[in-house]
């Protein structure tokens, strides 16, 4: 599944906020990290604020903060603000859809859509944070396993 650019940006942003919910991030910080213009990101953040996921913070520094429940907001909740992750059965909208080939293809494609939706609807922001922590730890473990080998190679 390939997400549209704004959807990916929204997920990156929401997870940046979720990783540190007490912090107010100025949009420029996230824009710089993900290589997009602050103007582009501002539109995405405004959409998230309209959906009740972020709240803009006035005053020094300004920016946004997360106001949703990390343990209940799922990836699909964020994605659906920007795009439809899979159409209902038989609504692909192409002209071959009602032919026998189109119908058979529709059955297979809707299997994939169902799995995609089930996955995205069951992963909360809190679950994503735990996944990120596990990946960080796996990266550190890999790095620490490599380090002694290099040291012993130097010693040899």
Partner 1 sequence: MRQPPEAVAVRPARRGDLDRVIAIDAAVTGLPKRSYWLSVYRRYSGAGRVGRYFLVADSVGEVRGFIIGDVRDWEFGSPPCGWVFAIDVEPRFRVAGIGTRLLAAICANFRRAGVFKVRTILAHDNTLILSFFRSQGMMAAPFIPLEMDIEV
Give least dist CB 89 to ligand COA, A.
24
Please report, as residue ranges, which positions from 108 to 147 form the binding site for ligand COA (by CB under 6 A).
124
Sign of the Cα pseudo-torsion (73, 76, 77, 78, in order) = positive
Nearer to ligand COA, 44 or 66 (CB): 66
2 vs 71 by CB, closer to ligand COA: 71
**Short-list 25, 20, 61, 22, CA closest to 41:** 25
Nearer to partner 1 by C-beta: 8 or 119?
119
Using the rule CB under 6 A, is 71 a contact of ligand COA? yes
- Based on CB atoms, which residue is closest to partner 1, 37 or 69? 69
Chain positions 78 to 137 lying near partner 1, rule: CB under 8 A, are 114-115, 117-119, 121-124, 126-127, 130-131, 134
Positions in 22-81 near partner 1 (CB under 8 A) = 74
Residues near partner 1 (CB under 8 A) are: 74, 114-115, 117-119, 121-124, 126-127, 130-131, 134
Residues near ligand COA (CB under 6 A) are: 71-72, 124
């Amino acid at each position: 599944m390939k997400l549209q650019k704004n959807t990916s940006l929204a997920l990156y942003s929401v997870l940046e906020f979720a990783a540190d919910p007490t912090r107010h991030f100025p949009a420029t910080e996230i824009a710089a990290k993900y290589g997009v213009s602050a103007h582009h990101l501002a539109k995405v953040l405004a959409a998230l604020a309209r959906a009740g996921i972020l709240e803009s913070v006035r005053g020094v520094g300004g920016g946004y903060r997360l106001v949703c429940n990390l343990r209940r907001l799922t990836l699909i909740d964020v994605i659906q603000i920007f795009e439809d992750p899979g159409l209902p059965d038989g609504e692909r909208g192409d002209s071959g859809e009602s032919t026998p080939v189109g119908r058979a293809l529709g059955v297979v494609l809707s299997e994939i859509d169902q799995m995609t939706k089930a996955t995205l609807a069951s992963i909360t922001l809190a679950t994503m944070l735990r996944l990120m922590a596990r990946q960080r730890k796996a990266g550190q473990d890999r790095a620490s396993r490599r380090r002694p080998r290099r040291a012993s190679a130097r010693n040899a």
